[in-house]
């Protein structure tokens, strides 16, 4: 791969290359891979790993900091891109640590059918909370209610008035909001938060592709309701990964937690799958498989 | 007072009174008063108290929940409306508990010359932080630098570009922001927060008199920088008041903490003083004295 980049760079006049930062590299994303050869002491031929790898069939990985060796193979390997990987850890850290949950808390999860949201909702249910999720299609809403065991779910695209929708499901307000979308949704959730509410800010997907982020109103309610709103990055918490596996693997094997993937085959279908994420066409964790045996 | 309200109500047709919520009551605010008579077991004639009282020369106080008996009178009594009262407790709780300060942290305080801001800045300096404050006049900025010992201070009204101003004083970013104003300031502060930054949301004075609150951009940075933003209400923390006095009284007596009040005399000047708060004409804690001996 390094060679390919080098060749492409040669075609670009030096000055253009300096002035315009051009990345001639594959897209990076979380994936599962098998080690074909290694000079790194932690990894040997045949090992399975998950972590940040390139979108390509064969990769030369020089930065191994994100790589974790897979120890448990009695689950689908693709789970290490989701429930057993970064999204799983995100749900775990976000819910148990950032949300400071108490039994009986009312929990709202946006983008609830995504890789992180579906797990947060199930963790919250197992913990003894009342859980409502929002998603962008009937299919996703059905999944939340029938597969993931959310108490209630609604299609935000069909709600004229988000405030009214939230009041319908949370007549006494929201204790915990797991924030994945940002923008208008956050604004309306703030109006419905209870005293001492907690908002774990995991992502704001509605804001990522805007030239300028939208403004969120109602932030003064943070004071009036003594709300804590906290962002977090999962990679600050990877030392807790073994503890996380210890909790989540039995839940998977005992069928106490459900997990849904949306799989496309072949690297050539990966770009469309990525674009689909922002349109919300995927149902569950979006996975791209590139099989090589 | 109760009689006056009754009489006024009688003049309003019952239906109008029901449909339009009309408060025919004096304004309520934090004040210091002497007990002239009492049938409450905790208060006796001659006691000095501070807490929520009416803007009037003589009051009948039925709800005593906010009242605290003054034990230390070797300080100006007006201090119990500020440094030794609700604003002092707000600065104490907000800085020491909500901001989770560490020695060497960089701290930014908006509305820094106000009753709360001036104390937060001084607590932060005593704690070993680097402290910068913003205020709305040259006089206030001078006070911050020369009287309250802030490392730096600036007049936000004279800055064309708040982001540039913050970058000038915080080239490596802000660890702690003590938020008193909201709106545009918060938006720009978010851009300058460091990883694991903390924002104590004490108030958002720029938003109080708007028909609809402004939107704040850049909230996605809460995720990218793992920022905690937390609102609080001081009355949830009043059980810590004795501990607070134990810390702050020696600081006052040893001259280690400065405190500035802006005093007007006479109840008739109180409305103009209140309006002045929102215009920023007061310098330091706004106090209205009504002397009776």
Q: What pLDDT score was predicted for residue B208? A: 74
Mean pLDDT of chain A: 90
Which of these ranges, A22-26, A244-248, A268-272, B240-244, has the smallest mean pLDDT?
A22-26
B131-164 tens-digit pLDDT: 999 999 999 999 999 999 999 999 999 999 999 9
Distance of CA B190 to the CA centre of its chain: 22
Residue A93 has pLDDT above 60, yes or no: yes
- Whether residues A223 and B208 touch (CB distance < 8 A) is answered with no
Please identify which residue in the block is written with the tokens 């804590």.
A228
Q: What pLDDT score was predicted for residue A8? A: 39
Distance of CA A159 to the CA centre of its chain: 24
CA distance B36 to B30: 18
Top pLDDT among A258 and A204 is at A258
Which of these ranges, A118-132, A167-181, A250-264, B19-33, has the smallest mean pLDDT?
B19-33
Residue B3 has pLDDT above 60, yes or no: no
When pLDDT is cut at 50, 70 and 90, the band that residue A278 belongs to is: confident
Chain A residue nearest residue B228, CA to CA: A230
Contacts of B201 in chain A (CB under 8 A): 219, 222-223
Q: Where are the beta strands (DSSP E) in chain A?
A: 28-34, 48-54, 68-69, 106-109, 130-135, 152-155, 174-179, 193-201, 228-231, 261-265, 285-289
Residue B184 has pLDDT above 70, yes or no: yes
The SS3 assignment for A52 reads: strand
CB A236 within 8 A of CB A215: no
Residue A184 has pLDDT above 50, yes or no: yes
CB B143 within 8 A of CB B113: yes
Question: How many C-beta neighbours within 10 Å does residue A38 have?
Answer: 15
Facing residue for A222 by CB, picked from B214, B220, B229: B229
> Per-residue pLDDT averaged across A206-216, rounded?
78
When pLDDT is cut at 50, 70 and 90, the band that residue B10 belongs to is: very low
B78-95 tens-digit pLDDT: 999 999 999 999 999 999
Q: What pLDDT score was predicted for residue B278? A: 84
The fold adopted by the segment(s) A1-70 is Quinone Oxidoreductase; Chain A, domain 1 (3.90.180)
Q: What pLDDT score was predicted for residue A20? A: 56
Facing residue for B231 by CB, picked from A208, A227, A236: A227
Pair of tokens at residue B123? 């607590």
Residue B171 has pLDDT above 50, yes or no: yes
When pLDDT is cut at 50, 70 and 90, the band that residue A282 belongs to is: confident
Q: Which residues pair with B201 in a beta bridge?
A: B179, B231
Facing residue for B236 by CB, picked from A218, A226, A230: A226
Q: What pLDDT score was predicted for residue B15? A: 52
Facing residue for A213 by CB, picked from B182, B217, B230: B217
Cβ-proximal residues to A150 (8 Å cutoff; 6+ apart), any chain: A109, A112, A121, A125, A131, A132, A133, A144
Residue A177 has pLDDT above 50, yes or no: yes
Pair of tokens at residue A251? 């839940």
Whether domain A86-235 has CATH 3.40.50.720:
yes
- Whether residues B222 and A229 touch (CB distance < 8 A) is answered with yes
**Interface test mutation site (partner B, options A100, A186, A210, A213, max chain B beta carbons within 10 A):** A213
Contacts of A224 in chain B (CB under 8 A): 231, 233
Contacts of A236 in chain B (CB under 8 A): 226
Residue A75 has pLDDT above 70, yes or no: yes
Q: What pLDDT score was predicted for residue A205? A: 75
CA distance B282 to A218: 27
**Interface test mutation site (partner B, options A99, A181, A222, A238, max chain B beta carbons within 10 A):** A222
Q: What pLDDT score was predicted for residue A10? A: 43
CA distance B287 to B266: 10
Which stretches of chain B sit within 8 Å of chain A by CB? 182, 186-187, 201-204, 207-208, 212-233, 236
Q: What pLDDT score was predicted for residue A24? A: 74
Chain A residue nearest residue B181, CA to CA: A220
Contacts of B215 in chain A (CB under 8 A): 187, 214-217
CA distance B162 to B233: 28
> Per-residue pLDDT averaged across A17-35, rounded?
78
Q: What pLDDT score was predicted for residue B4? A: 33
> Per-residue pLDDT averaged across A216-237, rounded?
95
When pLDDT is cut at 50, 70 and 90, the band that residue B9 belongs to is: very low
Residue A212 has pLDDT above 80, yes or no: no
Residue B19 has pLDDT above 70, yes or no: no
> Per-residue pLDDT averaged across A11-24, rounded?
54
CB B109 within 8 A of CB B178: yes
B20-42 tens-digit pLDDT: 555 678 889 999 999 999 999 99
Q: Is A226 left (phi over 0), alpha (psi -120 to 50) or beta?
A: left
Question: How many C-beta neighbours within 10 Å does residue B102 have?
Answer: 13
Residue A211 has pLDDT above 80, yes or no: no
CA distance A258 to A83: 10
The percentage of chain A sitting over the pLDDT mark of 70, rounded to a whole number, equals: 91
Domain ranges of chain A: 1-70, 86-235
Contacts of B204 in chain A (CB under 8 A): 219-220, 223
Cβ-proximal residues to A183 (8 Å cutoff; 6+ apart), any chain: A204, A206, A207, A214, A216
Q: What pLDDT score was predicted for residue A23? A: 61
Facing residue for A223 by CB, picked from B203, B217, B227: B203
Among A93, A89, A94, A138, CA closest to A113: A138
CB A261 within 8 A of CB A284: yes
Question: How many C-beta neighbours within 10 Å does residue B173 have?
Answer: 16
Longest dimension (CA), chain A: 64
CB A43 within 8 A of CB A50: no
Pair of tokens at residue A92? 């775990």
Q: What pLDDT score was predicted for residue A262? A: 92
Contacts of B222 in chain A (CB under 8 A): 201, 229-231
Among A216, A191, A243, CA closest to B216: A216
Facing residue for B204 by CB, picked from A223, A225, A229: A223
- Whether residues B230 and A228 touch (CB distance < 8 A) is answered with yes
Q: What pLDDT score was predicted for residue A21? A: 56
Instruction: Calculate how close chain B gets to A204, using CA atoms only, in Å.
Output: 6
CB A218 within 8 A of CB B213: yes
Among A209, A241, A283, A204, CA closest to A84: A241
Please identify which residue in the block is written with the tokens 């080690």.
A35
CB A199 within 8 A of CB A222: no
Q: What pLDDT score was predicted for residue A207? A: 77
Pair of tokens at residue A118? 């579906």
Instruction: Calculate how close chain A gets to B227, using CA atoms only, in Å.
Output: 5
> Per-residue pLDDT averaged across A93-102, rounded?
97
The SS3 assignment for B133 reads: strand
Contacts of A207 in chain B (CB under 8 A): 219-220
Facing residue for B207 by CB, picked from A207, A220, A232: A220
Q: What pLDDT score was predicted for residue A16? A: 52
CB B80 within 8 A of CB B50: yes
Cβ-proximal residues to B114 (8 Å cutoff; 6+ apart), any chain: B87, B180, B284, B285
CB B288 within 8 A of CB B269: yes
When pLDDT is cut at 50, 70 and 90, the band that residue B291 belongs to is: confident
A135-149 tens-digit pLDDT: 999 999 999 999 999
The percentage of chain B sitting over the pLDDT mark of 70, rounded to a whole number, equals: 91
Q: What pLDDT score was predicted for residue A270? A: 93
Measured at the CA of A236, the angle between CA A234 and CA A238, to 5 degrees, comes to 75
Residue B1 has pLDDT above 60, yes or no: no
Cβ-proximal residues to A214 (8 Å cutoff; 6+ apart), any chain: A182, A183, A184, A206, A207, B215, B217
Mean pLDDT of chain B: 90
């Amino acid at each position: 791969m390094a060679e390919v980049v080098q060749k492409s760079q040669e075609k670009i006049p030096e000055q253009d290359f300096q002035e315009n930062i051009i990345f001639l590299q594959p897209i990076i994303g979380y994936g599962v891979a098998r080690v074909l050869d290694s000079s790194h002491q932690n990894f040997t031929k045949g090992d399975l790993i998950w972590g940040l790898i390139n979108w390509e069939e064969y990769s030369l990985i020089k930065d191994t900091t994100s790589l974790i060796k897979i120890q448990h193979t009695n689950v689908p390997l693709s789970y290490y891109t989701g429930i057993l990987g970064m999204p799983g850890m995100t749900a775990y850290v976000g819910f148990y640590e950032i949300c400071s949950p108490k039994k009986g808390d009312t929990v709202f999860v946006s983008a609830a059918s995504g890789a992180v949201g579906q797990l947060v909702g199930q963790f919250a249910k197992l913990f003894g909370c009342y859980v409502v999720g929002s998603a962008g299609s009937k299919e996703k809403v059905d999944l939340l209610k029938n597969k993931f065991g959310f108490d209630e779910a609604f299609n935000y695209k069909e709600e004229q008035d988000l405030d009214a929708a939230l009041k319908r499901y949370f007549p006494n307000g929201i204790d915990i909001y797991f924030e994945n979308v940002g923008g208008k949704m956050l604004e309306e959730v703030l109006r419905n938060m209870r005293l001492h509410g907690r908002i774990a800010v995991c992502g704001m997907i509605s804001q990522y592709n805007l030239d300028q982020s939208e403004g969120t109103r109602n932030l003064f309610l943070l004071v009036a309701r003594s709300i804590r709103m906290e962002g977090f990055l999962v990679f600050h918490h990877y030392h807790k990964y073994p503890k996380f596996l210890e909790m989540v693997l039995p839940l998977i094997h005992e069928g106490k937690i459900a997990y849904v993937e949306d799989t496309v085959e072949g690297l050539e279908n990966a770009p469309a799958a990525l674009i689909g994420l922002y349109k919300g066409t995927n149902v569950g964790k979006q996975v791209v498989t590139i099989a090589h045996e």
